Chain A
Amino acid sequence: MKEIMTGNEAIARGAWEGGCHVAAAYPGTPSSEILENVSQYKEIDSEWSTNEKVAVEVASGASLGGARALAAMKHVGLNVAADPIFTMSYIGVNGGLVVITADDPGFFSSQNEQDNRWYALHAKLPMLEPSDSQECLDFIRDAFELSERFDAPFLFRVTTRICHSKTIVELGERTEVPIKPYDRDPKKCVMQPSSAKPRRYFIETREKDMREFSNNCKYNRVEWGSERKIGIIANGVSYQHAREAFEDMGDSVSFLKLGFTYPLPDKLIEKFASEVETLYVVEENEPYIENFTRQLGIKCVGREKLPAVDELNAGIVRGALRGSESAKGYSVDVVSPPRPPVLCPGCSHRGIAFALSKYKDIVVSGDIGCYTLAVMPPLNVTDSVICMGASISAGSGFSKAFRKAGEPASGKKVNKVFGMIGDSTFFHSGITGLINAVVNKSPVALCIVDNRITAMTGHQENPGTGRTISGEPTQRIDLVSLCVACGVKPENVRKIDPYDLKSMEKDIKDAYNADEVSVLITTQPCALIKDVQRKRANVHCAVDQNLCIKCKGCMRVGCPALSFRDGHIEIERSMCNGCTICAQVCPKGAISQVGEFND
C-alpha cells in the first residue's frame, strides 16, 4: 500500500515493521512526532521520558533486557544523552537499539546548528542517514537487526527537511520478533575499568567489520551516469538537492549516495573517486564526509564552494558548483512587517513576565519554552538563554558575579537575579540546579511557569500533567513538595495566579527581597489546552469606548488580540480568552471581562 508520509511518520512505521518493542523520547522539534506516531502502535511500549538521557537509558535497559528499542530526540537532546550513549557503544546491545537524532540545519526551531554526525565518529557508533521517507521506513526497519548483528547501538540521523517533508512510501507488515533471552553478563554489561578495557578492544574490531559492511552494503551505492566527468558524493537530503541541481544534465553525472555514514566506506569512495574527473562532496553544515575523503588523499570540492551555515537547496548547490545564475523572479516594493512568533492571547506566561518587566534592577536568567518569547518587545524580559535547565544554575552564577562586583562603577546595577523556567523544562533538568542553588546559597528567585503541558513543542505530557503519552492517568508530580524536597524553605515556595497582577505583586516583592532561594509557581494552564479553551470559550474582554482615553497602556502587555485601529482600542473577540491582564493595567477601568465560563 502506498501513502504519503512525513519522515517522522515513516520512521514510526519502520520501527513498527522492524519489530520495535520499546520506545522512549523527550520532545523537541523536529523530532517530536516520531514518538507521537510510534505510540499509536499498540505493540510498542512508548513513553515520554523526563529528558533525553533518561530516554536513552530506558531504551538501553530495554535492549539489554532483550527488547528491540529506540530513543528519539532533537540534536541538542543528544548532548544531554551523550553520557549513556558513549558507554553503550562499549556495552553494545542484546535486542537491537537505535538512537534517533533530528538535526536542524537552518535553525528553524533551535538554539544552535550542531551537526551530530560527529557523535557517530566520536562514540564510534554506526550511523544511518535516510534521504526521504521511504528510506526512513526501510533504514530503521533494518537498523534493529543490524544493531544486533554488530552488537552496537545505531545512530539514526535525520534533519528537519527529512522529518517534516512528506514523500511517497510503500508500506510493509510488521515482523514480530520475540524478546531475546536475558542472561546476566557482567563482563559485557557492567562497565568498570577491568571490563571496559576489553570492550574498548572489541570496538576496534567491530569498527573494522562495520567498515567492511559499509563498503558493500545496499545503503551506500554508486549510481553511474553515462559519463565520468562529474562525480558527486552526497548524503541525506543533500543527495536530493544535488540530484536536482544537475537534473538538466540528464544522466551524465555519477553519484555515490551514502546512507550508512559511519564508518564511512573508504574503498567505495576511493574507487568512485578514481573513476571520475571532478569530485564534489555535497553535504550540509560540517565537512564530515569531505574531511574523511581528504584523509584518504583524495582531492575533492566541497566546503570551499558550499556554505557551512544554513540548510542547502538545489539552487544553492547549482549556484555554488556550476556557477549558474539563479532564475529571474519578482520583487515588490512592500515592506512586510516582521511576523515573529509571539505569546498567544490568554497565555499564562504573560502576566508574570509583565510583572517582572516592572523591575528595572533585576536579571532574568531564562530557559527554553514558550516563555522565552517574553524576550520580545514590548515585554523585553529575559537576559540569557543557554540550554534547557540553565535558568536556575546560570542564575546562581550571575548572582555570584554580581556579589563579587559589589557596587559597579558602570553597567547595570543588579539587585536580584530571577530565573524563569517552564514545568517540562524544570522536570527535564531544572531540579539539579535548584538543589545546587539551595546548597551553595545562591539567593535566586525561581519562577516556575507551570502551564501544565509541554507547550512549545506541541503539547506533550510531562511529569506534572498526570497523564502518560497514551493519555492514561498516572501519578502527577507535585511541584510544591518537590521544591521543598529540594531544600527550599516551605515559606519560600509560593503558588501565584499569573492572571492576577495585584495578588502576584506581594509574592514577587518578597522573592525580590529574599536573601535565600525562593520559588514562585504559576497556576494557570496553557490557554491552548482543549479543556481550557472549552471552559473559556464564551469569556472575553471588551472595551468601553466611552471610558477609554486611548493611552494605549493596555498595549504594553503585548497581546495580539488587542489592536489600535482607526483611533480606538479593539479586542478581537475570536482571539481573546478573557484573561484580563489588559483590563488590569487599564488606568480607567475601561476594559472588562464579559460572558460566562463553561463548566
Chain B
Amino acid sequence: MTKSIILVGVGGQGTILASKVLSVGLMRAGYDVKMSEIHGMSQRGGSVTTHVKFGKKVYSPVINDHEADILVSFEKVEAARWIGYLKAGGTLVVNDYEIHPLSVLTGEAKYPEDVIGKLKAEVPNTIAFNAAQIAAGLGNVKAQNIVLLGALTKGMKLDETDWPAVLKDLIPPKLYDLNIKAFAAGADQLK
C-alpha cells in the first residue's frame, strides 16, 4: 500500500528540507519513494506544498484530493487551506504557529480565529503543538521543520531508518547538533 504525506507551509519555513530528509530516510528503509514539490515562488513568501509518497511501488508523484494519509502543516491557516488533501480518518500534524500574509498585515483581511479549535473539531486525529517555540527554545526557530519531522516519523513509526544518520548527511555540520535535538524534541511530543 502506498502511503501519502503532504507537507505544507510558507516559503522560508524549511518544508522542502524536511521533505528531503523524509524522502531519503524512506529510500534508505527500502521503499520506493516519490516526492513532488511546488516551490515556484516560495522565496517570495508564498504558500509551499510538497507531496511525498512511498510504498512497494509508487506511480504518480502527486497526491489526489482527499487521499493524503497525513497532512503536516507548518502554519495554522495553511492547514485549513490544504485540509482538502487529507483523507477521512487521516492524521493532521499542525504547527500551532501563525505567519500573517500581507493582506492581514495591512489590515485588509483578518487572520481567522480559533483555527486549531476548528481543525480539531473536524479532524479527530489532530496533533497540534508549537514547533516554532520548541525550536526557539533550542536556540533557533528555523529548526521547527525538523521538530515537525521528528513528530511525523515518530507518529508513523518509521523506525527502520537511522534518522540521525540521514540528518548528518543532509544538514550542514554546524547545525547538526541543533537539528538532532529538534528531531528528538518533536518525537517527544507524541509520547
* CB 8 Å contact bits of B1-32 with A (1 = contact, 0 = none): 00000000011000000001001100100001
Give the shortest distance, in Å, between B3 (CB) and chain A (any CB): 13
Residues of chain B at interface, number, CB under 8 A: 61
In the bound assembly, the distance between CA atoms of A132 and B36 in angstroms comes to 11
Give the shortest distance, in Å, between B179 (CB) and chain A (any CB): 20
**A241 neighbours in B (Cβ, 8 Å):** 59-60, 62
- With beta carbons under 8 angstroms apart, the residue of A160, A330, A338 that contacts B123 is A330
Given contacts A164-B37, A313-B62, contact A341 B105 (CB under 8 A): no
In the bound assembly, the distance between CA atoms of A337 and B100 in angstroms comes to 9
* CB 8 Å contact bits of B99-112 with A (1 = contact, 0 = none): 01111111111111
Q: Is the CB of A109 within 8 A of B35?
A: no
- With beta carbons under 8 angstroms apart, the residue of B88, B102, B104, B109 that contacts A558 is B102
Known contacts A4-B23, A342-B102, then 9 further A-B pairs from the complex at CB < 8 Å, ordered by chain A residue: A164-B38, A241-B59, A243-B59, A244-B59, A334-B112, A341-B11, A377-B108, A555-B106, A560-B105
Binding site of B, secondary structure by majority: helix, strand, loop or mixed?
A: mixed
**A167 neighbours in B (Cβ, 8 Å):** 33-35, 58, 61
Given contacts A168-B27, A327-B67, contact A161 B62 (CB under 8 A): yes
Q: Is the CB of B60 within 8 A of A341?
A: no
**A29 neighbours in B (Cβ, 8 Å):** 40
Is residue A378 within 8 Å, beta carbon to beta carbon, of the partner chain? Answer: yes
Within 8 A of A (CB), among B130-149: none
Is residue A301 within 8 Å, beta carbon to beta carbon, of the partner chain? Answer: no
Binding site of A, secondary structure by majority: helix, strand, loop or mixed?
A: loop
Give the shortest distance, in Å, between B77 (CB) and chain A (any CB): 4
Give the shortest distance, in Å, between A386 (CB) and chain B (any CB): 19
Give the shortest distance, in Å, between A538 (CB) and chain B (any CB): 18
Is residue A339 within 8 Å, beta carbon to beta carbon, of the partner chain? Answer: yes
Is residue B45 within 8 Å, beta carbon to beta carbon, of the partner chain? Answer: yes
In the bound assembly, the distance between CA atoms of A373 and B45 in angstroms comes to 12
Within 8 A of A (CB), among B58-87: 58-67, 77-78, 80-81, 83-87
Q: Which residues of A contact B (CB under 8 A)?
A: 2, 4, 29-30, 108-109, 132, 160-161, 164-168, 237, 240-241, 243-244, 247, 311, 313-316, 318, 326-344, 370, 373, 376-378, 456, 458, 528, 552, 555, 558, 560, 562-564
**A337 neighbours in B (Cβ, 8 Å):** 77, 101, 103-104, 109-112
Given contacts A247-B59, A344-B45, contact A332 B118 (CB under 8 A): yes
Question: Which residue of the partner chain B has the closest CB to A315?
Answer: B64
Q: Is the CB of A342 within 8 A of B106?
A: no
- Of all A-B residue pairs in the complex, the 8 with the closest CB atoms, nearest first, are A315-B64, A329-B66, A341-B44, A109-B40, A334-B80, A165-B61, A341-B41, A336-B81
Question: Which residue of the partner chain A has the closest CB to B27?
Answer: A4
The 27 listed contacts between A and B (C-beta, < 8 Å) are: A4-B23, A109-B40, A161-B36, A240-B60, A244-B59, A244-B60, A313-B64, A315-B65, A316-B64, A327-B65, A327-B87, A328-B66, A330-B88, A332-B80, A332-B123, A337-B104, A338-B103, A339-B46, A340-B101, A341-B42, A342-B44, A377-B106, A377-B108, A555-B106, A558-B106, A563-B104, A563-B105
**A326 neighbours in B (Cβ, 8 Å):** 64-66
In the bound assembly, the distance between CA atoms of A562 and B104 in angstroms comes to 11
In the bound assembly, the distance between CA atoms of A167 and B83 in angstroms comes to 25
Give the shortest distance, in Å, between B40 (CB) and chain A (any CB): 3
**B85 neighbours in A (Cβ, 8 Å):** 329
Most buried by B among A109, A164, A337, A370: A337
Is residue B115 within 8 Å, beta carbon to beta carbon, of the partner chain? Answer: yes
Q: Is the CB of A336 within 8 A of B86?
A: no
Given contacts A109-B41, A336-B80, A342-B102, contact A331 B88 (CB under 8 A): no
Question: Which residue of the partner chain A has the closest CB to B47?
Answer: A339
Q: Is the CB of B88 within 8 A of A327?
A: yes
**B36 neighbours in A (Cβ, 8 Å):** 161, 164-166
Q: Is the CB of A334 within 8 A of B105?
A: no
**B160 neighbours in A (Cβ, 8 Å):** none
Give the shortest distance, in Å, between B104 (CB) and chain A (any CB): 5
**B109 neighbours in A (Cβ, 8 Å):** 337-338
- With beta carbons under 8 angstroms apart, the residue of A336, A342, A344, A562 that contacts B78 is A336
In the bound assembly, the distance between CA atoms of A465 and B41 in angstroms comes to 22
**A458 neighbours in B (Cβ, 8 Å):** 43
- With beta carbons under 8 angstroms apart, the residue of B34, B81, B90 that contacts A166 is B34
**B101 neighbours in A (Cβ, 8 Å):** 337-340
**A132 neighbours in B (Cβ, 8 Å):** 34, 61
Q: Is the CB of A555 within 8 A of B43?
A: no
Is residue B181 within 8 Å, beta carbon to beta carbon, of the partner chain? Answer: no
Q: Which residues of B contact A (CB under 8 A)?
A: 10-11, 20, 23-24, 27, 32-47, 58-67, 77-78, 80-81, 83-88, 90, 100-112, 115, 118-119, 122-123
Question: Which residue of the partner chain B has the closest CB to A110?
Answer: B40
Given contacts A240-B60, A315-B64, A329-B85, contact A555 B44 (CB under 8 A): no
- With beta carbons under 8 angstroms apart, the residue of B45, B66, B115 that contacts A341 is B45
**A344 neighbours in B (Cβ, 8 Å):** 43-45
In the bound assembly, the distance between CA atoms of A333 and B59 in angstroms comes to 33
In the bound assembly, the distance between CA atoms of A161 and B33 in angstroms comes to 15
Give the shortest distance, in Å, between B94 (CB) and chain A (any CB): 11
Question: Which residue of the partner chain B has the closest CB to A558?
Answer: B102
**A377 neighbours in B (Cβ, 8 Å):** 106, 108
- With beta carbons under 8 angstroms apart, the residue of B20, B61, B87 that contacts A161 is B61
Give the shortest distance, in Å, between A345 (CB) and chain B (any CB): 9
**A4 neighbours in B (Cβ, 8 Å):** 23-24, 27, 33, 35
Q: Is the CB of B108 within 8 A of A168?
A: no
Question: Which residue of the partner chain A has the closest CB to B44?
Answer: A341
Q: Is the CB of B43 within 8 A of A237?
A: no
**A370 neighbours in B (Cβ, 8 Å):** 44
Q: Is the CB of A237 within 8 A of B61?
A: yes
**A30 neighbours in B (Cβ, 8 Å):** 40
**A327 neighbours in B (Cβ, 8 Å):** 64-67, 87-88
Question: Which residue of the partner chain A has the closest CB to B141?
Answer: A574
In the bound assembly, the distance between CA atoms of A373 and B41 in angstroms comes to 11
In the bound assembly, the distance between CA atoms of A328 and B10 in angstroms comes to 26
In the bound assembly, the distance between CA atoms of A562 and B80 in angstroms comes to 24
**A334 neighbours in B (Cβ, 8 Å):** 77, 80, 112, 115, 118-119
**B43 neighbours in A (Cβ, 8 Å):** 344, 458, 528
In the bound assembly, the distance between CA atoms of A560 and B104 in angstroms comes to 10
In the bound assembly, the distance between CA atoms of A203 and B149 in angstroms comes to 55
**B39 neighbours in A (Cβ, 8 Å):** 164
In the bound assembly, the distance between CA atoms of A133 and B24 in angstroms comes to 15
Give the shortest distance, in Å, between A325 (CB) and chain B (any CB): 10
Q: Is the CB of B60 within 8 A of A340?
A: no
Q: Is the CB of A331 within 8 A of B61?
A: no
Given contacts A109-B41, A555-B105, A564-B105, contact A240 B59 (CB under 8 A): yes
Q: Is the CB of A562 within 8 A of B77?
A: no
In the bound assembly, the distance between CA atoms of A450 and B190 in angstroms comes to 50
**B87 neighbours in A (Cβ, 8 Å):** 327-329
Q: Is the CB of B60 within 8 A of A330?
A: no
**A316 neighbours in B (Cβ, 8 Å):** 64
Give the shortest distance, in Å, between A31 (CB) and chain B (any CB): 12
**A333 neighbours in B (Cβ, 8 Å):** 118
